[in-house]
Amino acid sequence: MNQISNLFPTNWRNLHFIVLVFFSILLLFGGRNITEPASRLIITSFYYPFFKIKNFIGEMSTVAAENDLLREQLVSASNRIAELEEEARENKRLRSLLDFDKLVGYSLVPAKIISVTYNGSLPVSAVINRGARDTVAVDQSVVNQSGLVGRITEILGNFSVVQLLTDPANRVAARIAETREMGIVKYKANEGLLLDNFPVQGIIHEGDLIVSSGLGRVYVAGLTVGTVREITRPDDAQFSKVILDPAANFGSLEELFILRPDNQ
């Protein structure tokens, strides 16, 4: 019995060779009635299973490639969603930090200062690392954690120029936060930041908060500009001389934020 069970494993090559020779002779010398069924038998028995296996492997390879592509797209989409969620959380955090929740319709775009131009000891403009690709536009307001810093005046590809409040050519339509009386904020050499065109009879006190009024449609309304440091009311003048302490420290500017309208 053991000899019979060992017959096939021992003589498998010989048996395979005999079967192959047999079918070869059958195909060579057999008649049409024999060769055609034999061919079909060979194709069915030998070629067709391998053909099906080959097709199956090809289909599985295609499915695997498609799965890899879908997996990559899913990972990419998941990462993008995570980035957008993180941006939304960061924007919410910054708005809360800067007390900008009242500015509905604006998003904060963080920006780093690349270079600063000085006029004497104070900076008058800065180049930042945000530009057209970030939908930055001329006249958008620029702030930091303390308050208003300036506005965008020029777009240079992927960079922008910010005109600071310390530029004597800059003007901000402003008002007293408490009384709502208005004036024009400007910087004057040797005097500092001033609230100009404020009537002598106007109601104003040292320590009053000055904010942008939004008139002229250049600066967003409600941005902190500074606080009143000193008031002089000349008897023979129409306007008071009001000196401000700026909200932002222009001697240590680092990270800025652009107020970008949500519809842009």
**Tell me: the pLDDT tens digits for 138-189?**
999 999 988 999 999 999 889 999 999 999 999 999 999 999 999 999 999 8
Residue keyed to tokens 């109601």: 203
Residue 121, pLDDT above cutoff 70: yes
Residue 122, pLDDT above cutoff 60: yes
Instruction: Please list, in sequence order, all residues whose beta carbon lies within 8 angstroms of the beta carbon of residue 225, skipping any fewer than 6 positions away.
Output: 147, 148, 165, 172, 174, 185, 193, 210, 211, 212, 244, 246, 247
DSSP 43: I
For 48, phi then psi, to 5°, come to -60, -45
Mean pLDDT of the chain: 81
Kindly indicate the confidence band of residue 91, based on its pLDDT and cuts at 50, 70 and 90.
Answer: low
**Burial of 165 from C-beta contacts in 10 A (0-12 / 13-18 / 19+):** buried
% of the chain surpassing 70 pLDDT = 72
DSSP H helices, 11-124, are: 12-29, 32-42, 48-97
Average pLDDT over residues 42-58: 63
18-53 exposure pattern, b = at least 16 Cβ within 10 A, e = fewer: eeeeebeebeeeeeeeeeeeeeeeeeeeeeeeeeee
Residue 55: its pLDDT value, please? Answer: 72
Do 101 and 256 touch, CB atoms closer than 8 A? Answer: no
DSSP 150: E
Residue 175: its pLDDT value, please? Answer: 94
Which of 108, 111, 143 has its CA nearest to residue 130?
A: 111
Do 250 and 258 touch, CB atoms closer than 8 A? Answer: no
Least trusted range by pLDDT, from 17-31, 113-127, 241-255: 17-31
**pLDDT (tens digit per residue) in 5-36:** 454 455 555 655 565 566 566 555 555 555 55
Q: HSE (CB half, 13 Å, CA atoms) of 241?
A: 9
Q: Hey, how many other C-beta atoms are within 10 angstroms of the C-beta on 253?
A: 19
**pLDDT (tens digit per residue) in 93-115:** 666 555 665 567 888 899 999 99
d(CA 160, CA 111): 10
Residue 221, pLDDT above cutoff 60: yes
**For residues 145, 150, 152 and 154, what is the CA-based torsion angle, rounded to 10 degrees?**
-130
Structure tokens given for 100:
């900008």
User: What are the structural domains, with CATH classification, of the chain?
Assistant: 102-264 (2.40.10.340)
Residue 5: its pLDDT value, please? Answer: 47
* pTM beyond 0.85, yes or no: no
d(CA 50, CA 74): 35
% of the chain surpassing 90 pLDDT = 44
Q: Hey, how many other C-beta atoms are within 10 angstroms of the C-beta on 119?
A: 14
Residue 191, pLDDT above cutoff 50: yes
